[in-house]
A and B are shown apart, each in its own frame.
Chain A
Amino acid sequence: MTESNHHHEKCRELFERLSEYLDRELDEETCSEIEAHIDRCEPCKVCMKTLKRTVDVCRNLKQEQVPPDFSRHLRELIGQLAEGGKRG
């Protein structure tokens, strides 16, 4: 694992497929290939870990509250439509 190794074909190939790897969208063989490469190549490992963390952060982002005034307005609006039977 020398510095110059990182711009190997393999790294580039893996770099392109990292998201599919994290999303388990690749076949088993490709996954094992990627894992074997990551074990040997530190920059690719860092790349994978930081990308995974980015996705985890997104998945755990807290939702913002709907402004209560708007929420009330929306319900009133729909309530009027529902009562008027204007659907269809």
Chain B
Amino acid sequence: MPQNWKPEIKKDEDYELVQAINAGRADRFEELINRYEQKIYNFSLRMCNDVQDAEDMVQETFLNVFKYLGGFRYETKLKNWIYRIAASACIKRRRKSKFAPEKELSLDEFMPGEGEGAPREIPDWANVPLDRLLDEELSSIVKAGIDSLPDKYRMILMLRDIEGFSTAEAAQILDLTESNVKVRLHRARLYLRDRLKDYFDHDRIESPS
């Protein structure tokens, strides 16, 4: 449930630092930037698809964190709260832009087809050790794949599979139901899997095995 902000205090790894900042050590806010800057930058970069916009989003996020930290009551982890701020900065930005209505991804388009479409053998790229697979080229393919996802799917994939939030946390950050998060995540993953499959079927020059 989205409105499930629990009342008890969640003392996380940032608790001591937040207490100090709120007790007057505003100079220690930089430590908070140190902890989250790179994460929020990467999240923003994938969401905005543009370095300048990502920087604006990071700046807006930290300015809001700075402004509202005094009212932060540990109803959630600080990290989740920061992502909530970043996500809403991103949603606001998106509303201002005049993009076409968002594409819906349907499950059927990812169902393996009849006959030729249903592979019967695990491809090499799903079988070789991960570290032999993950090179610069693949990273950029994956990032381009993520960038080409419709926004609402991309945001979920980022929170769940890149940032490592649980379904419940992602639902809380975005004010969505857990089942909504699951449905979108599954479609986003299937979409990305098809991008990887296309890449390994057609574009990869040398075999990874």
What is the count of residue pairs linking A and B with beta-carbon distances less than 8 angstroms?
136
User: In the bound complex, do residue A58 and residue B142 qualify as a contact, i.e. CB atoms below 8 Å apart?
Assistant: yes
Write out, one digit per residue, whether chain B residues 181-209 have a CB within 8 A of any chain A CB (1) or not (0): 01001100110110011000000000000
User: In the bound complex, do residue B62 and residue A50 qualify as a contact, i.e. CB atoms below 8 Å apart?
Assistant: no
User: In the bound complex, do residue B70 and residue A78 qualify as a contact, i.e. CB atoms below 8 Å apart?
Assistant: no
Q: Does B138 contact A (CB under 8 A)?
A: yes
Shortest C-beta distance, A52 to chain B (Å), equals: 7
User: In the bound complex, do residue B196 and residue A54 qualify as a contact, i.e. CB atoms below 8 Å apart?
Assistant: yes
Q: In the complex, what distance in Å separates the CA atom of A53 from the CA atom of B51?
A: 28
| Chain B interface mostly | helix
Task: Please tell me the number of chain A residues within 8 Å of chain B, measured between CB atoms.
Answer: 49
User: In the bound complex, do residue B37 and residue A74 qualify as a contact, i.e. CB atoms below 8 Å apart?
Assistant: yes
Name the residue of chain A whose CB is nearest to the CB of B123: A50
User: In the bound complex, do residue B189 and residue A19 qualify as a contact, i.e. CB atoms below 8 Å apart?
Assistant: yes
Name the residue of chain B whose CB is nearest to the CB of A57: B142
Task: Please tell me the number of chain B residues within 8 Å of chain A, measured between CB atoms.
Answer: 57
Q: In the complex, what distance in Å separates the CA atom of A78 from the CA atom of B61?
A: 12
Q: Does B1 contact A (CB under 8 A)?
A: no
B38: A residues at CB distance < 8 A: 63, 65-66
A85: B residues at CB distance < 8 A: 26
User: In the bound complex, do residue A53 and residue B126 qualify as a contact, i.e. CB atoms below 8 Å apart?
Assistant: yes
B55: A residues at CB distance < 8 A: 67, 70
Q: In the complex, what distance in Å separates the CA atom of A45 from the CA atom of B107?
A: 18
Q: In the complex, what distance in Å separates the CA atom of A7 from the CA atom of B108?
A: 12
